[in-house]
Chains A and B, each alone.
Chain A
């Protein structure tokens, strides 16, 4: 190598390094500029202002706790006790929680010295340690209290409505009713509601004790009461999860079954006609490009909401994806095996069966099983749009904005479902293809 050559190479290398340096500097700067643009475009400062952090607190605390409502109707003087204030969670007639005492004067003990006394003639007294006694009187549509003008910020008082928030519970008073909310950790009534005779019974009593309900055997009765629990609706939830998995299964497998023969048409190896080949490919590109969202919307119009619509949407979208992947796999098959099979005098169909299929099946199966797992997630989302499965229950629970413990329950179930499908598809792949990863 002469010196001139060396100089040339050197200057070339220097130029290369300069360019690399420029790129190394320019890329982060570009990304930073883009982020700055998005910061403005997404209106992040406005978002921080608009964000409702109280909602976040409610969500975080309600997801692992429940509240019992004690409600006095000021018109009749009747006092109701219900979990989450729902009729399905109401205490049976004549029963009440053990932290409520007294007959004429009903005392609700919130704990740590906080207490509410519901007195006759629609009077209410709230005892708050370190603050004193709040007295309230409901008359007609007005509430009068002994609070002055200057109230702390955990009390929200007007002549129509007084709301007191304490660390142990909340009290709201209006002219028509007085409500006390007492908070407890846990998911109440998860197993049995108050209507069930098994509520409050220990597990050993249900399993080994005498019949609690004379009509039914303990275990089957308890199972059926749990299964039909009206608060948590275990039966509906199980069906919804089944629907979601069904959508993923039917969609993925159906797509694979339809895409396999079509993939032969799209592979150069097996289809000599250019027009047919490119037509099939365009169809694959089209159904993939239209996207699951649009397919869901279109199909929901024809088939109505439900799991069938969801599985068809997955089927059509994935047919395009599978068609593309399968035809690529078919292009890459080894010709030698096909030749070997045909040398034994095999007919075309036998050549496909014994020369091609064994080569591509592992690739195809791996893809199909991978999609099965990923489609379980898609089915949750599609279910939310088309109205089926656990996705729908989840969106409904979030949109009602009050049963956050149910939302937490569904989220845990969804994550468990996806992880289970992930594990299952991995296991099946290991069994069928004999390769673990």
Chain B
């Protein structure tokens, strides 16, 4: 069959057949592409309509008012600009609390994620049979939104930074565990074998054989997480877990007249996020590119 087809390949009839079959394929691909696009557009439009419908205020009405609140806050803050430094100083402890929540939860989460990742990586696991168990555990830890754990813990422990810290740490452990485990999969196993031949225990093999290889990547991921966790801890504050978010909610509840407080918090939060964003991206570049310039 193939021979016969090849033999006749240069006859114009076959060329036409090839061309037309190619065109059919292209048309089918275009059809599929167009259909996918249409479904996507349909989903977006209908989704927008539904969301607009179920919203308290409509999109087109809201669009005019979008600047009103920032304008009100900014004008009031500008009118009281002399107080801003004092206000920022007042809210500084709350800012420190927010950063502390993020830092502690990143540290704890990274430690837990480290152990979990080593336990769930093929070739490194202490108990290879339990790899799926640890993987599912990490999946669940990642899937639970922080707010769920935070709210439940606030009910038990009362408001404050600790519920937020535990909630973020659990999520961080799951998220970092997955990323760490992907890095560890590519680690060179020869140092581990060498250490095993000297009779090193499992923790010694991991500590001395694997960690030095993966540390730059791990640190870089942990820094990225820290950045994400600052945002998360600010948000959780808004539902009652202390820190800057909590102060923001209180300031907002007062409404006009206290907009200078809201503005001070906005500035602090924005500055902190940008600062840590820049800091972590600089160090991450240094870590992943290897050079300690």
Q: Cβ of B148: which chain A residues have Cβ within 8 Å of it?
A: 380, 394, 411, 414
Which of B4-12, B13-21, B41-49, B125-133 contacts its partner? Answer: B41-49
Once the chains bind, are B51 and A418 in contact (CB under 8 Å)? no
Once the chains bind, are A294 and B152 in contact (CB under 8 Å)? no
Q: Cβ of B54: which chain A residues have Cβ within 8 Å of it?
A: 243, 306-308, 388
1/0 contact trace for A272-294 toward B, CB 8 Å?
00000000000001001111111
Does A391 lie at the interface of the complex (its beta carbon under 8 Å from any beta carbon of B)?
A: yes
Once the chains bind, are B151 and A395 in contact (CB under 8 Å)? yes
Does A219 lie at the interface of the complex (its beta carbon under 8 Å from any beta carbon of B)?
A: no
Once the chains bind, are B55 and A307 in contact (CB under 8 Å)? yes
Does B261 lie at the interface of the complex (its beta carbon under 8 Å from any beta carbon of A)?
A: no
A42-B162, A292-B235, A395-B151 given; A302·B277 CB < 8 A? no
Alpha-carbon separation in the docked complex, A57 to B176 (Å): 31
Shortest B177–chain A CB gap in Å is 15
Once the chains bind, are A301 and B69 in contact (CB under 8 Å)? yes
1/0 contact trace for B140-172 toward A, CB 8 Å?
101111111001100111101110010000000
Shortest A383–chain B CB gap in Å is 9
Shortest B245–chain A CB gap in Å is 6
Q: Cβ of A298: which chain B residues have Cβ within 8 Å of it?
A: 66, 69-70
Once the chains bind, are A381 and B146 in contact (CB under 8 Å)? yes
1/0 contact trace for A283-326 toward B, CB 8 Å?
00100111111100111011111111101000000000000000
Set A55, A297, A301: member contacting B68, Cβ < 8 A: A301
Does B87 lie at the interface of the complex (its beta carbon under 8 Å from any beta carbon of A)?
A: no
Alpha-carbon separation in the docked complex, A384 to B151 (Å): 11
A47-B160, A302-B68, A308-B55 given; A381·B165 CB < 8 A? no
Alpha-carbon separation in the docked complex, A391 to B77 (Å): 32
1/0 contact trace for A27-63 toward B, CB 8 Å?
0000100110010011110010011110110010000
Alpha-carbon separation in the docked complex, A414 to B70 (Å): 33
Does A422 lie at the interface of the complex (its beta carbon under 8 Å from any beta carbon of B)?
A: yes
Which of B57-65, B78-86, B188-196 contacts its partner? Answer: B57-65
Alpha-carbon separation in the docked complex, A291 to B69 (Å): 16
Set A51, A253, A387: member contacting B158, Cβ < 8 A: A51
Residue in A253, A301, A380 with the greatest tally of chain B CB atoms within 10 Å: A301
Once the chains bind, are A305 and B51 in contact (CB under 8 Å)? no
Once the chains bind, are A59 and B56 in contact (CB under 8 Å)? no
Once the chains bind, are B161 and A250 in contact (CB under 8 Å)? no
Shortest B142–chain A CB gap in Å is 8
Alpha-carbon separation in the docked complex, A83 to B293 (Å): 69
Alpha-carbon separation in the docked complex, A377 to B152 (Å): 17
Between A and B, how many residue pairs show CB distances below 8 Å?
A: 177
Q: Cβ of B107: which chain A residues have Cβ within 8 Å of it?
A: 31, 34-35
Set A42, A55, A306: member contacting B100, Cβ < 8 A: A42
Closest A residue to B163 by beta carbon equals: A47
Set A47, A50, A395: member contacting B239, Cβ < 8 A: A395
A42-B162, A401-B155 given; A414·B51 CB < 8 A? no
Once the chains bind, are A291 and B59 in contact (CB under 8 Å)? no
Does A116 lie at the interface of the complex (its beta carbon under 8 Å from any beta carbon of B)?
A: no
Residue in B54, B145, B155, B157 with the greatest tally of chain A CB atoms within 10 Å: B145
Q: Cβ of A381: which chain B residues have Cβ within 8 Å of it?
A: 145-147, 235-236, 239
1/0 contact trace for B28-56 toward A, CB 8 Å?
00000000000010011001101110111
A292-B235, A299-B66 given; A249·B43 CB < 8 A? yes
| A interface residue count range (under 10 / 10 to 19 / 20 to 34 / 35 or more) | 35 or more
A292-B235, A380-B145 given; A52·B162 CB < 8 A? no
| B interface residue count range (under 10 / 10 to 19 / 20 to 34 / 35 or more) | 35 or more
Once the chains bind, are A293 and B55 in contact (CB under 8 Å)? no
Once the chains bind, are B62 and A302 in contact (CB under 8 Å)? yes
Alpha-carbon separation in the docked complex, A377 to B235 (Å): 13
Once the chains bind, are A415 and B144 in contact (CB under 8 Å)? yes
Alpha-carbon separation in the docked complex, A294 to B239 (Å): 14
Once the chains bind, are B56 and A304 in contact (CB under 8 Å)? yes
Once the chains bind, are B273 and A297 in contact (CB under 8 Å)? no
A299-B66, A398-B155, A415-B143 given; A253·B44 CB < 8 A? yes
Closest B residue to A401 by beta carbon equals: B155
Q: What are 28 A-B contacts defined by CB distance under 8 Å? A: A42-B161, A50-B158, A52-B158, A254-B44, A289-B277, A290-B270, A290-B273, A291-B270, A291-B273, A293-B234, A293-B269, A298-B70, A301-B69, A302-B62, A302-B65, A303-B59, A305-B55, A306-B55, A307-B54, A308-B48, A381-B145, A381-B239, A391-B145, A394-B147, A398-B155, A401-B155, A414-B144, A418-B143
Chain B residues in the interface with A (C-beta under 8 A): 40, 43-44, 47-48, 50-52, 54-59, 62-63, 65-66, 68-70, 96-97, 100, 103-104, 107, 139-140, 142-148, 151-152, 155-158, 160-162, 165, 231, 234-236, 238-239, 245, 248, 252, 266, 269-270, 273-274, 277
Given contacts A43-B160, A308-B59, A395-B239, 16 further A-B contacts (CB under 8 A): A35-B104, A42-B165, A51-B158, A59-B155, A246-B50, A291-B273, A293-B235, A297-B248, A299-B62, A381-B239, A384-B239, A394-B151, A395-B151, A414-B144, A414-B148, A418-B145
Chain A residues in the interface with B (C-beta under 8 A): 31, 34-35, 38, 41-44, 47, 50-53, 55-56, 59, 243, 246-247, 249-250, 253-254, 285, 288-294, 297-299, 301-309, 311, 377, 380-381, 384-385, 387-388, 391, 394-395, 398, 401, 407, 411, 414-415, 418-419, 422
